[in-house]
Structure 1
Amino acid sequence: MTLVLADCTYSYGRRKRPVLSDFSYALPGGLTILLGPNGAGKSTLLKMSASVVVPESGSVSFGRLRAGSKEFRKAVAWMPQTITPLASLTAREYVAYIGWLKGMNRGDAWSQARRALQRVELSDKADERTTRLSGGQLRRVGVAAALVHDARVLLLDEPTAGMDPRQRRVFRDILAGLREDVRVLMSTHDVADLAEEADHVTVLEAGRILHSGTTESFLAHTPADVPQGRAAEGAYTALLGHGEP
């Protein structure tokens, strides 16, 4: 099944210009990086995809599941930019609590929380209070919370913001390990988040898609005079400057 947005329009207020207008997009399998400058519409795209906001027109679906339904919300998980720690909860309690909010019974949520933390390599922090975790660890708890109910699509909004290079590397390695059974869409405005293991790249600017394809097809936009180590940056800059040919 594929997450599909069909002819979606959304604006923040009736008199404001739509952030996305007649927007269509199908999320490919594996790990997709969503690039774009601030204000491009990345967060709005993710919120609509997760059924957090409802488009004024158009539709969002995952296979036969319609956005807004209980089954859709279980299948499609969203992690916002900010994960707020809860002083009274450990990492495992936090993940189990999110599972319970998603409709799991308490027993299943508690047992699945341990498995979810294992998937993000935080088993050793399961009993640590969330307020004592680093920023990078807290974001990984957020991913575990998104996966606890066996989500099939994971939407991440700027998850690496504020992480140091080592934390970014660990986080990207974890996402790469999830892509076999979970479709991942990770938004960022920082082209440095384009990891070699990303399967696809989507570039969004001013509410329109400039590029959506494989990582190889994205890098093909790199100008010939750009050093190899800056290929992704060069391709991104070229697309923002000229759009798709």
Structure 2
Amino acid sequence: MPLHYTDCSFAYRAGTPVLDGLTMDLPQGCTVLLGPNGAGKSTLLSLGASSLTPVSGRVTLGRLDSVRRRDRRAFRQKVGWLPQEVKAIPALTVREQAAYVGWLKGLSKREAWDRSATALDRVRLTELGQRKSHELSGGQLRRLGIAQTLVHQAEIVLLDEPTAGLDPVQRGVFRDLLAELSGSVHFIVSTHQTEDLADIYETVIVFDRGRPVFRGPVSDFFSTAPAGTPHERRAESAYRGLVRGEV
């Protein structure tokens, strides 16, 4: 089921809304969210994860409303959240950190510990389970971040710039992992990187100034590029034709 925004508004400063009466759904499958800095992508995902609360409007998943207190725990168990910065907890091992996040999401300690093993296996971190989390590389820490969202068996995982700061090899490993997991989990990935869209994603949403200016299959996104655009430049050209630039 999609994550649905109904008449959502949010502002960090009075009189300057980032989102203003937005109504849209984030589709099933693997979706890439593109847009310039300041377009509202991080705010959109933070609201979807219930990390932020809309000033007005609702964010719902089926009958669960993120704003409604009695629904919040169940909502957060179904929606995983990976912000731009994944923080290691120095005193904990990799497995302990994954289990700890599951416990924070409402699992019992035993259930969180048991599920952490499966989650680490799914992101290929089992061998590093006993290592201190602060000793992980940047790419490994991002994979731990995904494991943290899988411990509580999230149905939808929201990722904000998950490959920022990673080297090309780490980005490749991360993209492969996303492709493997997308058959069982719905992903919404915010990024500035337009390469390899067709290899990973099913849907493209281009977000600009608090509004979606494009939504559709990857092939339709490519078709907005001007005729004669070289194959390797189609994504970049299509994107530049849809947005007005950084806010």
Residue of structure 1 equivalent to 2:86: 83
Which runs of 5 or more residues in structure 1 are unaligned?
none
Matches within 5 A, 1:49-128: 49-68=48-67, 69-128=72-131
Give the % identical residues: 47
Residue of structure 2 equivalent to 1:166: 169
Q: C-alpha distance in 2, partners of 1:91/1:240?
A: 40
CA RMSD of aligned residues (A): 1.4
- One-letter amino acid of the structure 2 residue matched with residue 7 of structure 1: D
TM-score (norm 1): 0.94
Kindly indicate whether the alpha-carbon contact (under 8 Å) linking 1:22 and 1:58 is maintained by their aligned counterparts in 2.
yes
Length, aligned pairs only: 241
Kindly indicate whether the alpha-carbon contact (under 8 Å) linking 1:32 and 1:199 is maintained by their aligned counterparts in 2.
yes
Residue of structure 2 equivalent to 1:39: 38
- Per-residue CA deviations over 1:158-217 (Å, capped at 9, x if unaligned) read 110001111111111111122222111010123236352211110011111110111111
Judged with a 3 Å threshold, the aligned counterparts in structure 2 of structure 1 residues 96 and 189 are, in CA distance, closer, same or farther, namely: same
Shift of 1:23: 0.8
User: 3-state SS of the aligned residue for 2:195?
Assistant: helix
Kindly indicate whether the alpha-carbon contact (under 8 Å) linking 1:85 and 1:131 is maintained by their aligned counterparts in 2.
yes
- Per-residue CA deviations over 1:19-61 (Å, capped at 9, x if unaligned) read 0111122111111000011101000000111111111111110
Kindly indicate whether the alpha-carbon contact (under 8 Å) linking 1:172 and 1:195 is maintained by their aligned counterparts in 2.
no
Which runs of 5 or more residues in structure 2 are unaligned?
none
Kindly indicate whether the alpha-carbon contact (under 8 Å) linking 2:84 and 2:162 is maintained by their aligned counterparts in 1.
yes
Kindly indicate whether the alpha-carbon contact (under 8 Å) linking 2:36 and 2:243 is maintained by their aligned counterparts in 1.
no
Q: C-alpha distance in 2, partners of 1:195/1:175?
A: 13
Q: C-alpha distance in 2, partners of 1:41/1:149?
A: 27
Q: C-alpha distance in 2, partners of 1:84/1:223?
A: 42
Kindly indicate whether the alpha-carbon contact (under 8 Å) linking 2:208 and 2:244 is maintained by their aligned counterparts in 1.
no
Q: C-alpha distance in 1, partners of 2:225/2:143?
A: 32
Residue of structure 2 equivalent to 1:24: 23
Kindly indicate whether the alpha-carbon contact (under 8 Å) linking 1:3 and 1:26 is maintained by their aligned counterparts in 2.
yes
Residue of structure 2 equivalent to 1:12: 12
1:176 alignment partner, one of 171, 179, 184:
179
User: 3-state SS of the aligned residue for 1:209?
Assistant: strand
Shift of 1:240: 1.8
Q: C-alpha distance in 1, partners of 2:165/2:196?
A: 12
